[in-house]
Structure 1
Amino acid sequence: MGSFSVWHWLIVLLIVVLIFGTKKLKNIGGDLGGAVKGFKDGMKDGSAGAPAEPSQQVTANKAADPNTVDVDAKHKV
């Protein structure tokens, strides 16, 4: 009741092949393998070098909306 036998898995595999077809399954496998390889390469490149610089801050056009509150800190004189 808790575990499936080999015959159960073969029947499930047969149904999946009948639904998707071998060509689509081959493409999915290739895409998944490429994604895993790209992830591994990215992890390898990220840990070997210096830390990446933070991305630029996005600024809004202050004149576009008169209801926008400017939150820049102002010094009291």
Structure 2
Amino acid sequence: MAETNGEPHAIQLRLDELLSERGMTLTELAARVGVTSVNLSILKNGRAKAVRFSTLTRLCETLGCQPGDLLLYRPDNK
């Protein structure tokens, strides 16, 4: 299970898969969404404590997906 500041969580973002499907880089996504590559990397690697709804909205708009396409719940982190 991923940890953020010692607190375990089971939510993962499927950014790698969605970027690959769309032929887009993390840097390109960051520019289109209006956040830094560092912040997207933190989200992608499961180190984020939270995601703003405005960021989630822009990710979905840019990637042409629904929030459920981006987020996974994996209680055993497999």
Scaled by the length of structure 1, the TM-score of the pair is 0.24
Between 1 and 2, higher relative CO (CA 8 Å, sep ≥ 6) is seen in: 2
Highest CA radius of gyration, 1 or 2?
1
Indicate the structure with greater helix content.
1
